[in-house]
């Protein structure tokens, strides 16, 4: 049975999700900082994949350390390649800790497999060009696209209000009530956000 643990990491408090597939393998979503602390949660299991919802510094800063130590496969949207590789675009240079990340697998909309585990990739641009949502079982990992009662900023490099409107329109039409695990803040549900999130109301 899949287990999920959330850690708030780094000085901005980004959510890193540790997914234990109960088959000795671990996946991470957005290890933004504190790689050693994250790795202490593995309980002897193998870190096999790191999935990035987007490329901003507060979501990628532990990637290189974890890659060097555990050699997981790094997965990100093809539309986010330039951002993860460019310290100015991913904002790490502005934070004084320039960071460039290389992915092993660049993905697009569709289904990918982590061994036997299916992951649905939704392209959700707006916060960044290559922002994606990962859906695993009944969980929706939304990165900085969707938060409880809010959405991601659109005034950072690659942000686009028109694309965010399209993304929210698409999310408003999903009928499954996924558990939403965002990049910052508490979890919520998709139905709750469709009904109560002010941006769904004002943008649609």
Asked if the structure places residue 166 within a domain, the reply is: yes
Q: What is the dihedral of CA 116, 77, 193, 139, to 10 degrees?
A: 10
Encode pLDDT of 145-177 as tens digits: 999 999 999 999 889 999 999 999 999 999 999
Asked if the structure places residue 204 within a domain, the reply is: no
In whole angstroms, give the CA distance from residue 88 to residue 26.
Answer: 30
Q: CA distances (Å), 10 to each of 3, 22, 33, 54, 87, in order?
A: 23, 27, 5, 16, 17
Q: Which residue numbers in the chain have pLDDT < 50?
A: none
Look at residue 204 in the predicted model and tell me its pLDDT.
66
Q: What is the CATH number of the domain that holds 155?
A: 3.60.15.10
Look at residue 1 in the predicted model and tell me its pLDDT.
83
Domain enclosing residue 192, as ranges: 3-199
CB 148 within 8 A of CB 188: yes
Asked if the structure places residue 132 within a domain, the reply is: yes
Number of independent structural domains in the chain:
1
Asked if the structure places residue 151 within a domain, the reply is: yes
Look at residue 157 in the predicted model and tell me its pLDDT.
84
């Amino acid at each position: 049975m899949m287990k999920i643990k959330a850690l708030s990491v780094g000085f901005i408090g980004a959510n890193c999700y540790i997914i234990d597939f109960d088959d000795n393998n671990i996946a991470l979503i957005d290890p933004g900082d504190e790689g050693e602390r994250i790795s202490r949660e593995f309980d002897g299991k193998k870190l096999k994949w790191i999935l990035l919802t987007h490329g901003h510094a507060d979501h990628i800063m532990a990637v290189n350390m974890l890659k060097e130590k555990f050699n997981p496969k790094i997965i990100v949207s093809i539309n986010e390649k330039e951002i993860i590789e460019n310290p100015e675009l991913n904002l790490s240079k502005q934070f004084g800790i320039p960071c460039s990340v290389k992915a092993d697998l660049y993905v697009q909309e569709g289904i990918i497999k982590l061994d036997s585990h299916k992951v649905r990739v939704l392209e959700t641009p707006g916060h960044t060009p290559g922002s994606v949502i990962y859906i695993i079982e009944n969980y929706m990992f939304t990165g900085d696209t969707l938060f409880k009662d809010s959405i991601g900023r659109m005034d950072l490099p690659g942000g686009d209000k028109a694309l965010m409107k399209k993304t929210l329109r698409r999310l408003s039409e999903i009928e499954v009530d996924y558990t939403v695990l965002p990049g910052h803040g508490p979890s919520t549900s998709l139905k709750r956000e469709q009904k109560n999130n002010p941006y769904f109301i004002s943008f649609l």
